Every structure is written in C-alpha cells, then in structure tokens.
Copies of this chain bind each other. A is one copy, B any other.
C-alpha cells in the first residue's frame, strides 16, 4: 500500500522532481565554495521536495500557467533547509538524512551563516514572483518558525507540556511552511479569497499531520530508513505527542519512570524499550496515527471545496502518503 502510493505519486511528478533538482542546483550560486558545500550537504541528500511539489501542484490546480513555476518553487526548499540547518545546530542533532549533521562536518558558525544565506535566497526568489503577498507570507512564516523552534526549546524536557502546546509548536514550526507553499501556489494563480482559504486549509492540515507522523516515526522507524537513530527527539528533550499522550494515560509508577527518562539525555536502550512497552500498553502510537489521519481528513475536505482538476488526485495521494510513509 505504502509502496504503491509512493509509486503513484512519483510517476505523476517525476518530471517535476527532475526539474526541481535542476533548479535547486542552478539557483544555489553563492560566491563562496564553502556555502555551496554546506548547503549542498543537506540540500542534495534525499529530501522529498514536498514543499516545492505542494506549491507547484496547488498553482496548477488553481489554473496557473506561468513558466517560472518550478524556479519559484525552490524558495520553499531553501527556506526549509535553512531552518533544518539552524535547528540542527540548536538541537545539537547528530544525524540528518543518514549523514552527519552539517554543523558536525563544517562547524556551527559556518552552518548558521549558510542557513542565513539560504533564508535570504528564499526571500530573493520570493521577490521574483513579483507578488507582494507571497513575499509577506514567506517573511511572516519565517518569523513564526523561529518562534516555534524557540517555544519548543523553552519546553525542553517539560513533562507538563499539553497536547494543545504540542499542537501550537507543530503548527508554527512545521505546518506554516507547507501551508505557505500551498497558498503561494494559489496566490500565483490569483484565486478568489474562498479558494485561497481552502488551499490554505489543505496545506495547514497536511502540515500538522506530516509533523505528527514524523514524531511517531521517531519511536517506530528503522534507523536505516529514517536516516537517524530512533528516540533522537526524546534524547534531545523534545516531547512529542506519543510521549504526551502516554504520560496522560500512564499510572503513577509509569509516569514517574517516563519523567525520569525524559530528564536523562543518556537513557539506556533498556529504558527506551520499557518506554515503548508502556506506549504499547496504551496504544499510544495508534492514537497518534489516528489523530494525524483526522487532520488528513480535514485536508481532503478542504481540497474537495475546490473545482476538480487533474492535480486533485495527486494531492490526495500526497495527503495519504504524509501519514503512510516510513521515512
């Protein structure tokens, strides 16, 4: 099922993906070779290009026919990668996409500056669209993502974090970027406020579902496929829905144990397995996936409000993939 879904999507967007790669390469033209290396380290290491694809597909769905669409769409991959570079420095992450995180290879200072470069590059491309609304959106979500990451930091290892807090973080850290990718496509096509609203809701809801699925994968995926060790979030003190839900369900002994693990960045493999056992008791993973799927339902509904086009089917597939993926 997962495999079939992936193939369906890939065959529909193969040409676009190829053009995105070319554009990402072409637009990345720093005068410093080092920036090229650091940006390239993460940019060309197997990203799914989900954000550019969302912009492209939403633009076409809304009737946009401009020739520079692929070029414009790279702005969201650059912005995404800029935040990944900064976040990995901030979280002191070890791995990203199966490779050593950039700051371990090139240094933290160099990585922060390359992030700044990519952030600026993203806004430079936004300005090429000549659409002030797109530029404003890009600037606004950059403000929001920085604050989302800060909010997450401020709640590191905080066992009192609620589902509501978690949702706020997910929304400002992750969902706004997918939402903006979709919205920007619609803005290019000069859609009505109603359509823009539907496209925006589609993007926001798959964004939330995407992050929820991501947070589940941190407890369930195989290291080789995930490209980093499972349990990495917990080790960094990031409390996500699987833990929050389990804490709410756990009895006092279990809760005390989980709180101990949360505070211990060097928790043992045995402790992690015991934690997974408690999660299993309460069906935490199923709950989280069902929760993620409820957002996919909302995304589908939002899409249904827009007159049917050939892009709809691919976007439905992408929505399904977001929660079905194993990486």
CB distance from A106 to the nearest CB of B (A): 10
Q: Is the CB of B31 within 8 A of A113?
A: no
Report the interface size for chain A: residues with CB under 8 A from the other chain: 41
* Given A32-B150, A113-B90: A120 and B132 interface contact (C-beta under 8 Å): no
A145-161 CB contacts (< 8 Å) to partner B? 145-147, 149-151, 153-154
| CB atoms of B110 and A146 under 8 A apart | no
CB distance from A107 to the nearest CB of B (A): 8
A136 to B114, CA, bound (A): 19
Q: Name the B residues within 8 Å of A35 (CB-CB).
A: 146-147, 150
The reply to whether B89 and A112 contact each other, CB–CB distance below 8 Å, is yes
With A116-B119, A127-B135, A135-B135 known as contacts, the answer to whether A147 contacts B32 (CB < 8 A) is: yes
A109:B90 contact, CB within 8 angstroms: yes
Inter-chain contact A130/B132, CB cutoff 8 Å: yes
Q: Could you tell me the distance between the alpha carbons of A112 and B124 in the complex, rounded to whole angstroms?
A: 21
User: How far, in Å, is A321 (CB) from chain B's closest CB?
Assistant: 30
Q: Report the minimal beta-carbon distance from A183 to chain B, rounded to whole angstroms.
A: 15
Contact B146 A116 (CB under 8 A): yes
Query: A90 to B116, Cβ gap below 8 A?
Result: no
9 tightest Cβ-Cβ pairs between the two chains A and B: A120-B142, A124-B139, A90-B109, A116-B146, A120-B143, A117-B146, A123-B139, A127-B135, A127-B136
